Amino acid sequence: MKPELAREWADLNNRAQRMPPSTQLASLMAAFKRTISDLRRITVPTLLLWSEHDHELPLETTGRRGFALLAAVDKQLEVVQDCGHMMPLECGVESASNARRFFERVVAVGG
């Protein structure tokens, strides 16, 4: 991840934390309004990593729905066991290993 993207995400998160709850919800809804149409346009090989115990974005509602919307023929949903919402911090090694296996397979198929 580029430092600019990290700063942008941190800024968005920090601004959202200062908003009243009603404004937070409206902001969240606006941010994800395009998500469904965006997912339907993704046709490249796609790995969707999801945490088993993500209580903010549950696997059974958000994760599987997002996966189903992907237009990619080569798509894979990997559920990281015993992991919560903050996957990179809680389960960094396992999630990175899943990503690496996926990238190695895609590169081998494409190469």
Average pLDDT in the 4-29 region? 67
Q: pLDDT tens, 41-71?
A: 999 999 999 999 998 889 998 899 999 999 9
- pTM to 2 decimal places: 0.69
For the chain, give the DSSP string.
Answer: --HHHHHHHHHHHHHHHTS-HHHHHHHHHHHTTTHHHHHHT--S-EEEEEETT-SSS-IIIIIHHHHHH---SSEEEEEETT--S-HHHHSHHHHHHHHHHHHHHHHHHH-
| Mean per-residue pLDDT of the chain | 84
